[in-house]
Structure 1
Amino acid sequence: MGGGAKRRHENPSSVLGDPPLNTTVNVDAADYFVSTISRPIAERGYYVFPAHMVKRLLDDEGLSDAGLVHQADASRFAPLFGCDTVMFVEISRWDSQYIVITTSTNVEFHYTLKSCDTGATLWTDTQAMSYSPQASNSGNPLVDLIAQAVVAVTCP
């Protein structure tokens, strides 16, 4: 696990996954990420709120843009969702390199888990990974890469 603050005394049982803040030029990066983040976190025993429901409620609250969501105080989400924590994710790198007959895609994610009770940062981490579709036997290597990045992050 990477660096950052950890506060396990809060013992959260639910994680609200906000729409990721995509600071890359890849317009599909956030959609790919949202479609894969729930499962690895749920497999670690946390309740994860359904992504489409979260997006809809945030839209209704005037937080339709990921930038607005990331600027909001974490304690604002508890009354809306009844969640213990909120995970803010920034996608800071998503680029592909094409060399002769191979392609390599590099991604980097910054995670911040905040308490919805106090607004305090409970934990932070950064994951950077690469994949090459030619080296994968999976049906969807991009989904596998994102899932690996999420699993590599140890939630409190």
Structure 2
Amino acid sequence: MKPHRISLAAAATLGLALLTGCATQRAPYDYTAFLKARPATLLVMPPLNDSPKVTATPSVWAQATAPLAEAGYYVLPVTLVDETFRQNGVTSAHDAHEIALPKLREVFGADAAVFMKVRQYGTSYRVIGSDTRVTLDARIVDLRSGEQLWQGSATASSAEQQQQSGGGIVGLLVMAVVKQTIESSTDASFNYAGIANQRLLAPRVDGILPSPRSPKAGQIPAPQR
């Protein structure tokens, strides 16, 4: 009876482990539409801004094309897109996002458009320390079919690099005052916008796919084990 009991216990433990593994495993991103559409030319739309910082849209928009170009896409220059919108009376990101997809395709000739939203942009201050944070959402929509090909989000924060240091409470307060003074006198969020853009729009696990022009075309980044 004893071996039988041991085998039952082992089986129960194994079953629990398998169930736990299945519960924590995340389904891979479905790239069916992305692979079928094979967009090669992208139009990056001016990002919507949910933050209180008026500099968020231009700061994020200016740095959004670099990771896409590095992935092999032809990306319409931001200055060209901005000027085209302005010449046609479109002066806000909200108005630009309201333009019909066929019209965007007609004017810019792109295969797909990247619609972005800034959810967080700026520095929040605390008694000890501060956190400069940029959080972005994006989705890629095929301008030929209207189908959404991909969506994702990413965050970059100064808190990632902050480490606890000695010196007591007085030392921490002095460091906090100095750091807050520097961040309030400069747009510290600009650099983190670049990092967030890179995390969001460069090929990665569950991220965008490399361009059809890229040597890595069709390859889906796999999670590291």
Short-chain TM bin: 0.7 to 0.9
How far, CA to CA, are the matches of 1:142 and 1:96 in structure 2?
7
| 1:26-78 per-position Cα deviation (integer Å, ceiling 9, x unaligned) | 11111111221111110010011110110111122332211111122222211
Name the counterpart of 1:32: 59
Name the counterpart of 1:65: 92
SS in structure 2 at match of 1:53: helix
Name the counterpart of 2:208: 155
**Residue identity matched to 1:118:** S
1:12 to 4, 27, 39: 39
**Residue identity matched to 2:208:** C
TM-score (norm 2): 0.59
SS in structure 1 at match of 2:124: strand
TM-score (norm 1): 0.83
Q: Which moved more, 1:115-124 or 1:89-98?
A: 89-98
Relative contact order: is structure 1 or structure 2 higher (C-alpha 8 Å, sep ≥ 6)?
Answer: 1
How far 1:5 moved relative to its partner? 6.3
| 1:97-120 per-position Cα deviation (integer Å, ceiling 9, x unaligned) | 224574311221110111110121
Name the counterpart of 2:70: 43
How far 1:148 moved relative to its partner? 2.3
How far 1:16 moved relative to its partner? 0.6
The answer as to whether partners of 1:38 and 1:48 remain within 8 angstroms in 2 is yes
Name the counterpart of 2:148: 121
The answer as to whether partners of 2:134 and 2:189 remain within 8 angstroms in 1 is no
**Larger Rg over CA atoms:** 2
**Residue identity matched to 2:118:** I
Q: Which has the higher strand share?
A: 1
SS in structure 2 at match of 1:72: coil
Q: Where do 5+ consecutive residues of structure 1 fail to align?
A: none
SS in structure 2 at match of 1:152: helix
| 1:88-142 per-position Cα deviation (integer Å, ceiling 9, x unaligned) | 101111231224574311221110111110121111112123125x86xxxx964
The answer as to whether partners of 1:4 and 1:124 remain within 8 angstroms in 2 is no
How far, CA to CA, are the matches of 1:145 and 1:13 in structure 2?
27
Q: State the superposition RMSD in angstroms.
A: 2.5
The answer as to whether partners of 1:36 and 1:143 remain within 8 angstroms in 2 is no
The answer as to whether partners of 1:22 and 1:91 remain within 8 angstroms in 2 is yes
SS in structure 2 at match of 1:148: helix
Name the counterpart of 2:110: 83
Q: Which has the higher helix share?
A: 2
How far, CA to CA, are the matches of 1:17 and 1:93 in structure 2?
19
Q: Cα distance 1:89–1:5, how it changes in 2: closer, same or farther (>3 A)? A: farther
How far, CA to CA, are the matches of 1:52 and 1:109 in structure 2?
21
Q: Where do 5+ consecutive residues of structure 2 fail to align?
A: 1-27, 163-186, 201-206, 210-225
**Residue identity matched to 1:41:** L
